[in-house]
């Protein structure tokens, strides 16, 4: 399976299906562009996807601004490329965009490679309201989210059936989080995090293993993900291979938020 193409298909598929679950969400497709809008006032959740880095034009770049200006929403631009620096990088920067994240897109087909996780951590699907609150607590801590971020966004995500969140406990303490996004016949791993006080104790390994095994049990042949540089070595040791890059650009006015 082409991991880069699968991850892109999963991402676009999320926005394609989101209007069924989220009032105000919509998407549109134009020549060379796919645009997904949640309506949330955060650039990370309103995305323009450039379908082909080799065919993007100045008109495409300007059109993106027009679309989001009509809704007065912040946005970011996503490019999927085999190379760390996409071919359209120069064009985007000429028009006032800056690359803010470059994540490695990875895939693991079949079982993971054996690696010891923390056998004491209890990982299971998020169920009741208390577990949902614990999941949000872990995400905020693990990813050091700013207090200004409206955490209720994650509450909305938890109630969308495309997402399958999992929570990890040591005793009664929530220590780890993870989530599968299952759409377009692809399972993608998101939000794998460990609270700062419990890192480097095998919790992340246990969470990724649980998520991947859940996907295989549900009939998927693989999982895909976008890894930060920090998580890359863990995923590689578990058997994920690098297939490309997800490069996120933002216009200058949104570099510091929202």
**Which tokens sit at 98?**
């800056």
**3-102+245-254 and 111-220: same fold?**
yes
CB 203 within 8 A of CB 176: yes
Q: Break the chain into its structural domains and give their ranges.
A: 3-102+245-254, 111-220
Task: Write the CATH number of the domain with boundaries 111-220.
Answer: 3.40.630.30
* Distance (Å, whole) CA 157 – CA 167: 15
Dihedral of the CA atoms 117, 118, 119, 123 (nearest 10)?
Answer: -90
pLDDT score for 145? 83
Whole-structure pTM value: 0.94
- The whole-angstrom separation of Cα 151 and Cα 136 is 8
pLDDT number for residue 156? 84
pLDDT tens digits for the chain (258 residues)? 999 999 999 999 999 999 999 988 999 999 899 999 998 888 889 999 999 999 999 999 999 999 999 889 999 999 999 999 999 999 999 999 999 999 999 999 999 999 988 899 999 999 999 999 999 999 999 998 877 677 778 788 888 999 999 999 999 999 999 999 999 999 999 999 999 999 999 999 999 999 999 999 999 999 999 999 989 999 999 999 999 999 999 998 877 665
| pLDDT value at residue 41 | 87
Q: Which CATH architecture has domain 3-102+245-254?
A: 3-Layer(aba) Sandwich (3.40)
Q: What is the pLDDT, as a whole number, of residue 252?
A: 85
Alpha helices, H only, 118-202: 129-142, 152-158
């Amino acid at each position: 399976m082409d991991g880069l193409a699968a991850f892109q298909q999963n991402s676009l598929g999320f926005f394609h299906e989101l209007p069924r679950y989220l009032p105000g969400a919509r998407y549109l497709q134009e020549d060379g562009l796919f645009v997904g809008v949640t309506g949330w006032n955060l650039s990370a959740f309103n995305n323009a996807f450039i379908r082909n880095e080799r065919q993007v034009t100045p008109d495409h770049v300007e059109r993106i601004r027009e679309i989001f200006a009509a809704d007065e929403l912040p946005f970011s631009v996503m490019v999927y490329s085999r190379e760390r620096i996409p071919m359209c990088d120069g064009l985007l920067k000429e028009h006032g965009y800056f690359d803010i994240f470059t994540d490695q897109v990875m895939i693991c087909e079949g079982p993971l490679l054996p690696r010891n996780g923390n056998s004491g951590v209890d990982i299971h699907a998020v169920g009741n309201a208390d577990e949902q609150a614990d999941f949000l607590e872990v995400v905020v801590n693990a990813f050091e989210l700013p207090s200004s971020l409206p955490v209720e966004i994650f509450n909305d995500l938890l109630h969308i059936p495309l997402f399958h969140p999992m929570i990890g406990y040591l005793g009664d303490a929530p220590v780890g989080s993870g989530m599968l996004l299952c759409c377009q016949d692809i399972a993608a791993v998101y939000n794998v995090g460990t609270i700062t006080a419990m890192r480097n104790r095998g919790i992340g390994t246990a969470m990724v293993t649980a998520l991947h095994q859940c996907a295989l049990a549900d009939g998927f042949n693989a999982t895909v993900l976008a890894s930060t540089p920090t998580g890359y070595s863990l995923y590689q040791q578990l058997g994920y291979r690098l297939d490309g890059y997800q490069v996120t650009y933002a216009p200058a006015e949104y570099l510091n938020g929202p």
